[in-house]
Amino acid sequence: MILKRIFDGAVVLLALPIWLPLLAVLALIVRIKLGSPVFFRQKRPGKKGVVFELLKLRTMTNARDAAGRLLSDDQRLTAFGRWLRSTSLDELPELWNVLKGDMSLVGPRPLLIQYLDRYTPEQARRHDVAPGITGWAQIHGRNAISWDDKFKLDVWYVDHWSLGLDIQILIRTLVKVIRREGISAAGEATMPEFMGNPNRLKADKP
C-alpha cells in the first residue's frame, strides 16, 4: 500500500502549519491543568502485530485509592480531558505516529496488546493493515457499538480498502467529530475491556 503511505505523509505534512501550533497550545494547557507528563504513551500492536509506542495527549489524572491502585478511567477523567476526547483533539500526537509509519490516517484503531490472544482468526485480520487514527468502525458508531460489530467493520475495511474509501472516511470523520457522536459506550468512559469471544476456541477449529 505504497500509495496509502504517500497519501498519509502528504496530508499530514500539508496540514502541519495547522495542527502543530494547535498541538503546542493544547500541550501547554494539559501541562497547566494535569501536570507532567503531557503525553500519554502506551505500547500498541500495529500492522502484523508489530508493537509501537502510541502517543496521545494526556486526559486523566494519576489519582489512586488508599491501596495505591489507580482509580477507574471515569474517576480519573477530568472535565478538560473529557472535552479533549469528545473533540478527538487528544489524538493529535498520533499524527507523529503516522509520519513515522507506525500508523495510517485511516485503519482499524490500535487496541491493547493483551487483546491479541483474545481475537478469533477472523478478528485478527484487522492487523493486516496499519492501524489508523480513524476508520470504518469509527464512522459507524465509534465506541457506541459492540466489540463484535467493531471488528466486523475493521475486517470489512481490510477487504475493501481503496484511496477513495480513505478520503470518504476522513470526510465523514470530520462530521462525526463536529457532532461528537459515539464518544463512549453506555456507562463507560470509552469502551469496556474486550475479554474475547466466548466461542473463540470453536472459531479456531476448521
Please check the confidence at residue 205 and state whether its pLDDT lies above 60.
no
Find the helix packing angle between 163-179 and 2-14, rounded to 10°.
40
Cα–Cα dist 126/8, whole Å: 19
pLDDT at position 204 is 47
Find the helix packing angle between 16-34 and 2-14, rounded to 10°.
70
pLDDT at position 180 is 72
pTM of the entire predicted model: 0.87
The arithmetic mean of pLDDT across residues 174-183, rounded, is 77
Q: Per-residue pLDDT tens for 107-119?
A: 999 999 999 999 9
Q: Which residue has the higher pLDDT, 176 or 121?
A: 121
- Beta-carbon contacts of residue 72 (< 8 Å; ≥ 6 apart): 189
pLDDT at position 152 is 96
Please check the confidence at residue 184 and state whether its pLDDT lies above 60.
no
Please check the confidence at residue 181 and state whether its pLDDT lies above 90.
no
